[in-house]
Amino acid sequence: MKKDLEEGKIEAIFACGPLPLLKAAQSLAKEKNIPCQISLEEKMGCGLGVCLGCAVEVVTGGYEHVCKQGPVFDSNKVII
């Protein structure tokens, strides 16, 4: 995969898994300037966005809910 990244053969990254892996994918995508979609796993108490259990911070300020706006986010949009 590293060779494919260096040669520009990878056009996008799609990742799910533990937060350290998602942070690494986010960082790599930013470094290589390629799109990245990450699937976040958060505890969801209500599934409606009311309990705030699944809120994730976004770069524009504030929070979005994994249960309503996600679980897949553009990696440039969320702070993990």
Region 39-52: what's the mean pLDDT?
86
Reported pTM: 0.87
38 — pLDDT class (breaks 50, 70, 90): very high
Output the pLDDT for position 7. Answer: 82
- Residues ≥6 apart with Cβ < 8 Å to 34: 10, 11, 12, 13
Range 18-23 average pLDDT: 95
SS3 22: helix
Average pLDDT rounded to a whole number, residues 15-19: 95
79, two tokens: 């702070």
Q: Any idea where the domains of the chain sit in the sequence?
A: 2-74
